[in-house]
Amino acid sequence: MSTRSTTIIRTVLQMRQWRRQCLLQNKTVGFVPTMGALHMGHCHLVKNSLAENDKTVVSIFVNPSQFAPHEDLDAYPRTLDRDLKMLETMFPEKQVDAVYVPETREMYPSGIVLEVEDQKGAFVNVKGCSEGLEGAHRPAFFRGVATVVTKLLNVVLPERVYFGQKDAQQCVVVKNLVRDLLIDTEVKVLETHREANGLAMLSRNEYLSPEVKDQAALIYKGLCAAKELYITQLESGAGAVPSKDILDSIKTIYSTMPSLWEVEYVAVSHPDTLEDLDSVDLAVGALISTAVRVPRGDSGVARLIDNVQLSPKI
């Protein structure tokens, strides 16, 4: 089936046939993996892929294996018609060439085994990832992401694959997996797109009432306070800043959050290894990341993540 100029591909076989044609025509392929409910953050990745490759594939697949049983797999927004329209209309100069929308049985022909207890044995070697940040709070997450990204890359075989810095730990996991499994693709990481109030664009923002969306600006405001502290210290010529001072600057802002909100974590990590830092070497910088649980419009809870990079190059 095809829309104006975007081919919709539903099976591994069709995807491979499409890819083979690109190879025969000597065309490079850029790939943007997503779980749909597309927003301007996704479009930013697509725009870069369109600019850097002859052909661009976007995948839309809500991957069950990265959700633990208590997480929001069923509630995750699924807006395929709207997503396809967005991809057709957002890029007037150059269209997305193919959208890969597989069923779960295409991606997992032998089914899915969720071994949540066994996460620490995951095969991807990412220092710090099992102990802290998202890995600690979402036990199924990185094994599921590593599995599905490997499968997707095996099917699409792109020259370049695009991810958002918003999921900073995911980017480290994917870079390590591409390196360790000798996958022949270039991983490109692009900066986080934000709403006018600073809130990171997330598919899960669809869960939020306008009021909560307004208040959620505090998340980025807290991260910006950490950045300001870092820059002040950098300009003063200091060599290091204790992580506690950074965390305190964020806590001051977070203390104004509505009382029902729950800060799941704020972490100060090494920018490359993601190991927890007691003190930030100003010449090296750090990744400051956070997850906050806020009320959903429908009485559930939405988990919002964000991060900023503290870099001596700022």
Ligand X SMILES: Nc1ncnc2c1ncn2[C@@H]1O[C@H](COP(=O)(O)OP(=O)(O)OP(=O)(O)O)[C@@H](O)[C@H]1O
Binding site for ligand PAF (CB under 6 A): 33-35, 63, 66, 145, 148-149, 167, 170
Q: Count interface residues toward ligand BAL (CB under 6 A).
A: 3
State in angstroms the smallest separation of the CB of 134 from ligand X. Answer: 10
Residues that bind ligand X (CB under 6 A): 34-35, 41-42, 44-45, 163-164, 166-167, 190, 192-193, 200-204
Q: Which of 42, 44, 193, 270 is catalytic?
A: 42
Query: First vs last Cα of the chain: how many Å apart?
Result: 47
167 binds ligand BAL per the rule CB under 6 A: yes
Distance CA 114, CA 68 (A): 8
For ligand BAL, the binding residue among 59, 66, 165, 309 (CB under 6 A) is: 66
Buried-state track 189-219, b at ≥16 Cβ within 10 A, e below 16: bbebbbbeeebbbbbbbebbeeebbebbebb
- Binding at 41: pick from ligand BAL, ligand X, ligand PAF, none (beta carbon under 5-8 Å per type): ligand X
Strands (E), 221-285: 240-242, 262-269, 279-281
Query: Residue 94 and residue 177: Cα distance in Å, rounded?
Result: 31
Shortest distance in whole angstroms from residue 258 CB to ligand PAF: 27
CB of 283 to ligand BAL, least distance (A): 31
Number of neighbours of residue 276 by Cβ within 10 angstroms? 14
Active site residue 42: yes
Closest CB 35 distance from ligand BAL, rounded Å: 6
**Which residues, listed in sequence order, are joined to residue 305 by a DSSP beta bridge?**
291
Q: Which residues are part of the catalytic machinery?
A: 42
